[in-house]
Amino acid sequence: MLDRVKDTFDLHPERIIADTAYGSGPILGWLVDRNIAPHIPVIDKPARTDGTWSRVDFEWDAENDQYVCPEGQSLKQFHRNYSDSNRGPDGKGVAKYRELKLTCQACPSKAKC
């Protein structure tokens, strides 16, 4: 639709307003990449109904910049003391927190995670 409006009327919006149905990460990212400010509620599905843990089950530890899983394991953004350009935020403003693979494989609650 945005391409049709641009082609037909030579208009390029500075901002878009829409309902939550358009609030997925890929759509919001697509708009931001085109310098369009999205005024759209983000789709948020924190509660899970399939028996797996949801975001709210993980505790944020701001002092140590880590999450703590329900099994008490620390999910860190970095596990080494050196800077690695392939680690950290993915360029889209998202930082990934995780535990070491061996720790997760041995976890008794792996099926819920």
Neighbours of 13 (CB within 10 A): 14
Are residue 35 and residue 55 in the same domain, yes or no?
no
> DSSP label at 24?
S
- 51 and 19 in one domain? no
**Total count of domains within the chain:** 2
Task: Judge whether 55 lies within some domain.
Answer: yes
Q: Are residues 71 and 24 in the same domain?
A: no
DSSP 86: T
Give the position of tokens 């995670």: 113
Which pLDDT value is given to residue 80? 65
Let me know: does 102 contact 110? Beta carbons within 8 Å.
Answer: no
Q: What is the largest CA-CA distance in the chain?
A: 59
How confident is the model over 2-58, as pLDDT tens digits?
Answer: 889 999 999 999 999 999 889 988 999 999 999 999 999 988 777 778 888 888 889
Range(s) of the domain holding residue 13: 2-39
Residue 86 placed within a domain:
no
Asked, for residue 17, whether it belongs to a domain, the answer is yes
Are 34 and 51 within one domain? Answer: no
pTM above 0.75, yes or no: no
Q: pLDDT tens, 56-110?
A: 889 999 999 899 999 999 999 876 655 555 555 555 566 788 888 899 999 999 9
Task: Say if residue 76 is in the same domain as residue 55.
Answer: yes
One domain for residues 24 and 8: yes
Query: What is residue 74's three-state secondary structure?
Result: strand
State the DSSP H helix or E strand holding residue 103, giving kind and residue range, or none if neither.
helix 101-105
